[in-house]
Amino acid sequence: MCRMLGMVSNLETYLNFSYNVLAAILKKLCEERGECHKHGSGFAWYQNGWNVKRDDGPLWESKDLKSFITYTRSKAMIIHARKATYPQYSPQGPKVENSHPFMAELRGLKWVFAHNGRVLFKKNVFNLRFSERILEYRGKIYKLISYGVDSEIFFRILLHTVDEIGGEEPRNVIDALRKTISEEIIEKFYSLNFIMGSHRYLYAFRFYNEEEVEPDRYTLYYMIRRGTSEAGKILRKKLSEIDLYISSEPLTSEKWVEDIRKFKEGFPVEEWIPLKNGEILVVPIGKPTKIIIEKI
């Protein structure tokens, strides 16, 4: 089960505090509870389009990612920590090519995608050439970044469907997602939780298989922090700044507040709102208060 963090702000801002918190929590989960998200990590940020930096190791150990995240300012960012379901010897195992977020182009524009869960597709839905990293789907050929990781395959199928449907965001993405999960191309899944970015929006989707997993296993929360709030003042945010965060873990909730206060003494508990199963949250890049939540 992977961990994800997304952010949209009305100003170009830093994600370094949230990165430090997330990295510390992941390290604690690994060392104290044996829940290790150590099979790859990545960072995507929006700056004249999406950019991606990835690593094949744990998020808390990657000096390159820490440097990028610490000094990058953006209105939209995504962080991912991977816990691979594939064995180490598998082509889809711990490799930098298999680390999220994945990037793809649609109509000349870059999209990024980070996923938490596992998807098994029905036979003959697509043709996958592992060594060449080629996906053939419904008459089209796509060059993959990974060695056929299920997450990237789902991402490519979703974008293929968006292209087929046409129209404008975010309606075409919502309709494409609904169509993709209802077309019976999936044999079995545990979770389709994802955070995806286009050139206009950030999308967060929570969808887990209620027959296979417990409801507290594949969570997704969101929270809005204003520069005028107690937390915003402690972090020395601009008074006009508004940030929306989406996370697998409610990072600054009561659950983790004692760990947070090791970084910032007296940091307040913040309210994180859980997405319900089957809900997609849509937020325009640069407009964190203009959220849409819809049931798929």
Structural domain boundaries in the chain: 3-295
Structure tokens at 174: 């919502």
Give the residue from 283, 284, 279 showing the smallest Cα distance to 294: 279
**Predicted confidence (pLDDT) per residue in 257-278, tens digit:** 888 888 888 999 999 999 999 9
CA distance 96 to 120: 22
Q: Where on the phi/psi map is residue 68: left (φ > 0), alpha (ψ -120 to 50), or beta?
A: alpha
Q: What is the pTM of this model?
A: 0.95
Q: Are 61 and 40 in contact (CB under 8 A)?
A: no
pLDDT tens, residue by residue, 211-224: 888 878 899 999 99
Instruction: Determine the Cα–Cα distance for residues 186 and 139; give it in Å rounded to an integer.
Output: 19
Q: Which two tokens stand for residue 238?
A: 């601009």
Q: Which region among 56-60, 146-150, 154-158, 249-253 has the lowest average model confidence (pLDDT)?
A: 56-60
Tell me which residue of 197, 240, 181 sits closest to 102, measured CA to CA. Answer: 197
Report pLDDT for 282.
Answer: 98
**pLDDT of res. 241:** 98
Q: Tell me how many degrees the CA angle 23-45-11 measures, rounded to the nearest 5.
A: 100
Rounded distance, CA 21 to CA 197, Å?
A: 23
| CATH superfamily of this structure's domain 3-295 | Aminohydrolase, N-terminal nucleophile (Ntn) domain (3.60.20.10)
Residue 181 structure tokens: 């999960």
